[in-house]
Amino acid sequence: MLTLSCPRCRLHHNCICQLQPNLTTDIQLELLLHSNEFKRRTNTGLLLRDSIAANVHQWQRKPPCAELTQQIAACPDQFALVYPSEDAICLSEAQDVKHFIILDGTWQEAAKIYRQSPYLHHLPKITLKPQQASAYCLRANQAEGNLCTYEVAIQLCKELGLIKEANQLEAFWLSYLQVFEADRSGYQFKG
């Protein structure tokens, strides 16, 4: 069993929590995490939860997440799924959306979550238009053009015009990647 030094950032040798932003916005991120993500040190959804107001929901095939399905049922026009697909729309076309659902897992797990969650199928799907490639290097087999959960939130803020928030998230994210690499190697980060 892996023992972690910091329960929040989950780093062994280098806690980065003091650098982490604590942002609130008019939008609400709803993170739907595959159960495997709770065990991974490389999970960026839990890191995001501690950086910006985000609700974390654990995905289960049966039963579906009661809290999230109730919220969607109460205000269906306010929810959208950030998920690339042929029928996805640009963010500018999502008028009344206040809740953005992000599927958190490997790309295979995210596809499984979507495929096996009929309550997500009727929601509008939003595609983002990142201007740069992903900096995420913590896992193997990342497909070109894909963003990790933390980067999705950064890009979402950028496209919504929340530039200050996007910049704060991005600055922390780039620092985190450097510190994570040092931590993985067992070194104290000297930045």
C-alpha span between 184 and 32 (Å, rounded): 26
For residue 62, the enclosing domain spans 25-185
pLDDT at 137: 65
In a domain, residue 6? The reply is no
Judge whether 91 and 20 are in contact, CB under 8 Å: no
CA distances from 123 to 97, 119, 183 (A): 11, 8, 39
Torsion, Cα 166 137 116 80, to 10 degrees, reads 10
C-alpha span between 110 and 27 (Å, rounded): 22
In a domain, residue 3? The reply is no
In a domain, residue 10? The reply is no
In a domain, residue 62? The reply is yes
Look at the chain and report how many structural domains it folds into. 1
CA distances from 115 to 100, 112, 132, 170 (A): 18, 5, 28, 30
pLDDT (tens, 9 = 90+) of the chain, 191 residues, equals 345 578 888 888 888 999 999 999 989 999 999 998 888 877 889 999 999 989 999 998 888 899 999 999 999 999 999 998 899 999 999 989 999 999 999 888 999 999 999 999 999 999 999 888 777 766 555 556 688 899 999 999 999 999 999 999 999 999 999 888 887 777 666 66
For the sheet with 99-104, list strands across it.
54-58, 28-33, 99-104, 79-82, 125-127, 89-90
Residue type at position 130: P
In a domain, residue 191? The reply is no
In a domain, residue 16? The reply is no
- For the chain, the C-alpha Rg in angstroms (whole number) is 16
